[in-house]
């Protein structure tokens, strides 16, 4: 029993508990979007082109490497909660935009390239801010435990998100998956708004 309590001890802190719940919902939505985005690139926009898929991946994840000196500095110097609200809000808007052009049948491959690049830039600022913000919430003593819980949450989302996306794409289509992801950002934005952090 003590071992179980020890595993989840960071969740005893209200602010971290709020953040954990909001981030889990948002991460599930993000993995849903990644699955749907890859699917439309391969099946609807490029005739199974590995090159197109590679370009999307490079645009989405490249900025996290290229911009690392700038984004790390931003996470150190700026108010991390406000920075996360900006990055999470921006990602929600991007998801909504991609959803709308997909639902209206206007989406083209270059649109996905642009959205992937913009998402990559916002993610580049988001990732280091998330990591340091968790430390702000739990303190040094619980940081290791909180990081472990975050990893478990992320991996759970990586499992749940694609499965849910597959079902939804079969029922309502990829466009609605993007829209649902946009809505999922409300959870993390709400959590950032209600928690009390000095």
Q: What is the pLDDT of residue 4?
A: 62
Q: What is the pLDDT of residue 5?
A: 62
Tens digit of each residue's pLDDT (9 = 90 or more) over 32-61: 999 999 999 999 999 889 999 999 999 999
Q: What is the pLDDT of residue 108?
A: 97
CA 171 and chain centroid, separation: 23
Q: Quickly list H helices, 67-171.
A: 68-77, 80-103, 109-138, 140-171
Q: Could you write out the DSSP letters of every residue in 141-193?
A: HHHHHHHHHHHHHHHHHHHHHHHHHHHHHHHT-HHHHHHHHHHHHHHHHHHHH
CA 148 and chain centroid, separation: 18
Output the pTM of the full model. Answer: 0.91
Whether residue 138 contacts residue 18, with contact meaning beta carbons closer than 8 Å, is answered with: no
15, HSE (Cβ side, Cα atoms, 13 Å): 14
| Residue 2 pLDDT level (bands cut at 50, 70, 90) | low
- Residue 102: CB atoms within 10 Å: 23
Q: So where are the chain's domains?
A: 18-194
Spatial distance between the Cα atoms of 42 and 32, rounded to a whole number of angstroms: 16
Tens digit of each residue's pLDDT (9 = 90 or more) over 73-130: 999 999 999 999 999 999 999 999 999 999 999 999 999 999 999 999 999 999 999 9
- The CATH code of domain 18-194 reads 1.20.1250.20
Whether residue 99 contacts residue 178, with contact meaning beta carbons closer than 8 Å, is answered with: yes
């Amino acid at each position: 029993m003590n071992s179980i309590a020890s595993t989840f001890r960071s969740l005893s802190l209200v602010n971290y508990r709020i953040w954990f719940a909001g981030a889990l919902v948002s991460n599930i939505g993000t993995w849903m979007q990644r699955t749907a985005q890859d699917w439309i690139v391969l099946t609807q926009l490029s005739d199974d082109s590995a090159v197109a898929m590679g370009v999307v991946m490079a645009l989405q994840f490249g900025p996290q490497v290229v911009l690392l000196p700038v984004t790390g500095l931003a996470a150190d110097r700026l108010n991390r909660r406000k920075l996360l609200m900006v990055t999470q809000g921006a990602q929600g808007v991007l998801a909504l935009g991609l959803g709308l052009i997909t639902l209206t049948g206007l989406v083209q491959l270059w649109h996905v390239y642009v959205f992937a690049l913009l998402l990559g830039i916002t993610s580049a600022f988001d990732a280091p801010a998330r990591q340091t913000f968790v430390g702000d919430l739990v303190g040094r003593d619980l940081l290791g435990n909180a990081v472990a819980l975050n990893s478990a949450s992320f991996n759970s989302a990586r499992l749940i998100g694609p499965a849910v996306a597959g079902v939804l794409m079969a029922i309502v289509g990829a466009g609605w998956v993007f829209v649902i992801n946009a809505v999922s950002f409300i959870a993390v934005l709400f959590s950032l708004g209600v928690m009390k952090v000095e």
